[in-house]
A and B are shown apart, each in its own frame.
Chain A
Amino acid sequence: MTAPIAPGASQEARDYLADVERELADLPAEERAALLEDLEQHLAALAEEGDDCPVVIRLGSPAAYAEELRAAAGLPAQRNVRPSPRRDEVRRLLARVEAHPLTDEVRRLWGELRPAWWVLRGYLLIALPCALADQWDFPVPAPLGSRVLGLLLVGGAVAGSVALGRRQLSPSNTRLLTVGGSVLALLSFVVAVGGTQSPSYDVGYATPVVYDQAVGDFPLVSRYGPVTDVLPYAADGTPLQGVLLYDQDGRPLQVGFQEWWADGCSRVLRQPLAADGVPVPHAFPQTYVLDPTGGGLDDPALCDLVTDRPEVSLPVFPATVATPTAAAPTPAAPTDTVPVPAVPTGVPGD
């Protein structure tokens, strides 16, 4: 029973009219309709005046308006307790959502998807307890270790669920079914999400991409992807050169070869040679020089002769601690040929 609302009426006017209508809900329909018709015309007339004064300021709150209207019209005051303004607000918001065209769309879609939900509901009814009891051979529940039994139960539950869905139920039963279905869906969601997250190491979901990269060309992989260089610094921020790095088992740390550079020029790796002439792969940072052959593709003039280190954020240590640690890395032989941290240029980790 909605009051007739002119199509051009503002949302504010509609809200006001709807609120007053609610306030008059206990009146006989005819009486209420007459009063609301007057109000609607009044609101339209106010709108025509074109002043920007909000309706609520102009006419007072819907409740006050209704009360005054009742008193002047000689109608009984409203008997039941007036709902709180907040509830009014919520109701108005709901009404607005309801009136939105998208709501209709969603409702229609939901109507079309209902049979799918019936099937899913039947499946979850069996699958969820089995999953919780770990009697589960995804996606087939295996109660008592039997997939056949699981399939039979799922078939029965789905048939029952669909039959239930097609039947017209009493409102109380419908509500019960809705609540039950919501709980089932929610629990399933929680189990599904929780299940894929915690035991992921066993299942093998753990970042398979990175794992694959950690072989072959990229023996070292960080959370950001393949590592092609390591840039050591002393505690005082001095960039270090020729630092030998080993892993937790004492094996030389190896990184991948960097193929792509910001200036587009190709480079070759020049690892320092040990006394026996064997290159040392774990001296960091790695040293790359421009490819002397050039491949005929690169114009040396366009290449960066020196590849700067990327800018790093160095921690600031307390002065007392910094003194001893800063003195420590002397054997690492810092060189002054290396430029101070500068603009990032396509160097590893970029």
Chain B
Amino acid sequence: MDASQLLKGVLDVAVLAVVRQADGYGYDVVRRLRTAGLEGVGDASVYGTLRRLYQAGALTSYVVPSDEGPHRKYYAINDRGRSVLEDSGKTWRTFVDAVDGLLDGAPA
């Protein structure tokens, strides 16, 4: 099964979780997701997700000036984001347990 299909559904959770660990700018989030094992995550998907979560009020952002190159826009999770993550996390676990149960069930 193509992991990218699954990723779409859980990218919100994954991005929120990454940003909860530490504030991060777009590329930083992309790299941390990949390091965590979500290698198939697309750059555009991460940026789009960050943007949407920011629009939804789940993230705040601030700009850090940089000596070389453009300034970096960092994203930080806020209370709203944390509650969204908590809800989504529960949904995810329930979902995973259900699928696990199906997979672990003895073949007919």
How far, in whole Å, are A35 and B44 apart by their CA atoms in the complex? 10
B70 adjacent to A68 (CB under 8 Å): no
Q: Which residues of B contact A279 (CB under 8 A)?
A: none
Closest residue on chain B to residue A46 by CB atoms: B27
Contact A74 B52 (CB under 8 A): yes
- A72 interfacial contact with B, CB 8 Å: yes
Q: Which chain A residue lies CB-closest to B30?
A: A42
Q: Quick one: closest A residue to B15, CB to CB?
A: A72
Does residue B40 face the partner (Cβ distance < 8 Å to A)?
no
Taking a contact as CB atoms under 8 Å apart, the answer to whether A6 and B70 are in contact is: yes
Minimal Cβ-Cβ distance residue in B for A65: B44
Contact B51 A59 (CB under 8 A): no
- Is B47 positioned at the interface, with any CB of A under 8 Å from its CB? yes
- Please determine whether A68 and B51 come into contact, CB atoms closer than 8 angstroms: no
Question: For residue B8, which residues in chain A have a CB less than 8 angstroms away from its CB?
Answer: 71-72
Contact with A along B1-39 (1 / 0, CB 8 A): 000000010010000000000000111000000000000
Is A291 in the interface zone, CB < 8 Å from B?
no
CB of B86 within 8 Å of the partner chain:
no
Task: Flag A54-77 by CB within 8 Å of B: 1 or 0 each.
Answer: 000011100011111111111100
* A38 in the interface (beta carbon within 8 A): yes
* Complex interface residues of chain B between 53 and 97 (CB less than 8 A to chain A): 55, 68-73
**Is B44 within 8 A of A69, CB to CB?**
yes
Q: Is the CB of A38 within 8 A of B47?
A: yes
Asked if A236 lies at the interface with its beta carbon under 8 angstroms from chain B, I say no
A44 at the interface (CB under 8 A from B): yes
Complex interface residues of chain A between 212 and 236 (CB less than 8 A to chain B): none
Number of interface residues, chain B, beta carbon within 8 A = 23
Contact, CB under 8 Å: A72 / B46: yes
Verify A38–B26 contact, CB threshold 8 A. Answer: yes
The dominant DSSP class at the A interface is helix
- In Å, the complex CA distance between A75 and B55 comes to 11
Contact A59 B44 (CB under 8 A): yes
From known contacts A46-B27, A68-B42, infer whether A41 and B73 are also in contact, taking CB-CB under 8 Å.
Answer: yes
* Alpha-carbon distance A39/B48, docked complex (angstroms): 10
A72 near B52 with CB under 8 A, answer yes
**In the complex, what distance in Å separates the CA atom of A41 from the CA atom of B51?**
14
Contact status B47-A72, CB under 8 Å: yes
Taking the closest CB of chain A, its distance from the CB of B50, in whole angstroms, is 7
User: Are B26 and A68 in contact (CB-based, < 8 A)?
Assistant: no
**Known contacts A69-B44, A70-B48, A73-B51, A38 near B73 by CB under 8 Å:** yes
A17 to B68, CA, bound (A): 19
A6-B69, A59-B43, A72-B11 in contact; A41/B48 too (CB < 8 A)?
no
Residue of B nearest to A70 (CB): B48
Pairwise interchain contact B27-A73, C-beta atoms closer than 8 A: no
Residues of chain B touching chain A, judged by Cβ–Cβ distance below 8 Å, are 8, 11, 25-27, 42-52, 55, 68-73
- CB pairs A–B below 8 angstroms (12 shown): A8-B69, A35-B48, A37-B73, A38-B47, A38-B51, A38-B73, A41-B69, A42-B26, A45-B26, A69-B44, A72-B46, A72-B51
A-B pairs, top 10 by smallest CB distance, nearest first, are A72-B48, A73-B48, A68-B44, A69-B44, A72-B45, A45-B27, A69-B48, A44-B69, A73-B51, A65-B44
Interface residues of A (CB under 8 A from B): 6, 8, 34-35, 37-42, 44-46, 48, 58-60, 64-75
10 extra interchain contacts, Cβ-Cβ under 8 A, other than A41-B70, A68-B48, A72-B42? Answer: A41-B26, A41-B71, A42-B47, A45-B27, A59-B43, A65-B43, A69-B51, A70-B48, A73-B47, A73-B55
